[in-house]
Amino acid sequence: MKQGWEIKKLGEVCMLYQPKTISGEMLEEDGKYLVYGANGVIGRYSQYNHEESEVLLTCRGATCGSINISEPFSWINGNAMVVKPIDANNILPQYLKYYLLSVDWNEVITGAAQPQITRQSLSPLHIIIPPLPEQEKIVAELDCLSGIIEKKKQQLKELDSLAQSIFYEMFGNPIDNEKGWEVKRLEELCDIINGFAFPSSDFAECNPIKVIKITNVGVNEFISDDSSLPKEYNNMEGCKVHTGDIVIALTRTIILTGVKRAIVPNEYNESLVNQRVAAILANDRIVSRRFIYSFLGTDFVRQYILQKATALMQPNLSIRDLRDMPTVYPPLALQQEFASKIDVIEKQKELIKQSIAETETLFNSRMDFYFNLL
C-alpha cells in the first residue's frame, strides 16, 4: 500500500440509500427529467429528486451489481441504490464508480430466488482511498481507456445505422410498402422456435451447454455470460440454435433504443434457448437471414409489437404474434445483393470488435492494478 493511501469501510465514507420510487404508470413521455431504474434510464418525469450526478448501484434482480451514473437533475428510483461520498473532497465520484466496477458482487449479493444487495451487506466493503491527486490520475487514465472503448462502440452503432439505411434505400419503408412487395407471415419464411423453461437451479458456469436467456439479447447486440446447462439437456433439439441464427426477446421486446434482437455468435453454436426468448431460423432457400434481421429493426416491426403489446410500459410479444408478423418479401436475388453489402459492413465491425476486446483487456489490467490491493 502506498504512503498516504487509506482503507475504509464503504459505509464510513459514503451514504447508501434507496430513493422514493415512482411507478411505471407515472412516467411521462414529454417529461423534462430523466428517470433512472435498476439498469439506467427507464423514461422521463416532470420532477427530479436529485440535483447532482450520482453513482448508482443496481441492488435487485439478475443485474445486481451493475453501475450507472445519473445525469444532474434526474429522478432516481429505489431499485437503484445511491452511493454518495459523504465528503466530496475525500472521494471523487468517478473514482468511486471505478472502485465499484472492480468489486466481486458475488460476495455481497444475498437471496437465491431474488438476488439483492442491501445496505447491510454493502456497508462493510473495504475501499482503497488514495489522496485526491492520485485519484485524479487514476480516473484520467481509466477515463481515457473507457473513452476509447466508447468511441469504438459508437463506430459500431454508426455501421449498424448504415446497414439499416441501406435496407430502407433498397426495400423502402415496410410501414407503407411503397415498392409494393409481396407480404408473407414471418413463419412462412422462417422456422420460429419458442424457448423452454429450464429450471434456474440448473444454470451454472461449470456446465457444458450454453443457454440463451433474455438477458443475453440486447438491442442489436448479443450479451454473453457464463450461464450454462448440464449435458443431460443436450438432446433437446427443439430449442437448439446455431451460429448466425436470430434471437429476439419476447418480454420487454422494445426498450428506448429499439427492438431487442441479436445474432447468435460462434461461441453459442448449438446452444439452447430459454423461456421468453424466441429463435428465428431463416430458410436460406427462400429468404436471406440478413434481410430478416434488418427487417426486425424497422419502425414497422416496432409499431407492430406496440400494437400487440398487452402493457405499454413493458411491451411483450407472444410467440403467436411473432409467427403471424407481416413481413415484406422482395425477390431473393435483391435480398442476397443486400446481404452482400451487409457482409462488408460486418467485416468492418469484426475488426472494431477485436480492437475493443484488446482495449478492454488493458482496461481490466489497470483496474486490477489499482483496486486489487487488499
Give the DSSP letter of residue 335: H
> Which residues 6+ apart lie within 8 Å of 43 measured at CB?
24, 27, 28, 29, 31, 34, 35, 256
CATH topology of domain 132-173+330-374: Helix Hairpins (1.10.287)
- Model confidence, pTM: 0.81
pLDDT of residue 107: 84
Cα radius of gyration rounded to whole Å, the chain: 23
Helix and strand element counts for the chain (H, E): 9, 23
Q: Give which of 99, 114, 21, 15 is closest to 64, Cα–Cα.
A: 114
Cα 256 to Cα 31, 219, 260, 313: the distances in Å are 14, 10, 10, 11
CATH topology of domain 182-328: Adenine-n6-DNA-methyltransferase TaqI; Chain A, domain 2 (3.90.220)
Alpha-carbon span 76 to 22, nearest angstrom: 9
Q: What is the pLDDT along the chain (374 residues), one digit of tens a residue?
A: 688 899 999 999 999 999 999 988 899 989 999 999 988 999 999 999 999 999 999 998 878 899 999 999 999 999 899 999 999 889 999 999 999 999 999 888 887 678 889 999 999 999 999 999 999 999 999 999 999 999 999 999 999 999 999 999 999 999 999 999 999 999 999 999 999 999 989 999 899 999 999 999 999 999 999 889 999 999 999 999 999 999 999 998 887 678 999 999 999 999 999 999 999 999 999 999 999 999 999 999 999 998 987 655 577 899 999 999 999 999 999 999 999 999 999 999 999 999 999 999 999 999 999 998 76
DSSP H or E run through 128 = strand 126-129
Alpha-carbon span 47 to 89, nearest angstrom: 29
Sorted by where each begins, the domain ranges of the chain are: 6-130, 132-173+330-374, 182-328
What number does CATH give the domain 6-130? 3.90.220.20
Q: What is the pLDDT of residues 163-220, one digit of tens each?
A: 999 999 999 999 999 999 999 999 999 999 999 999 989 999 899 999 999 999 999 9
Alpha-carbon span 287 to 282, nearest angstrom: 6
Strand order in the sheet with 40-45: 40-45, 33-37, 75-76
Handedness of CA 136, 137, 141, 144 (dihedral sign): positive
Same fold, 132-173+330-374 and 182-328: no
Q: Where are the alpha helices (DSSP H) in the chain?
A: 10-13, 93-101, 119-122, 132-171, 186-189, 289-295, 299-308, 319-323, 332-371
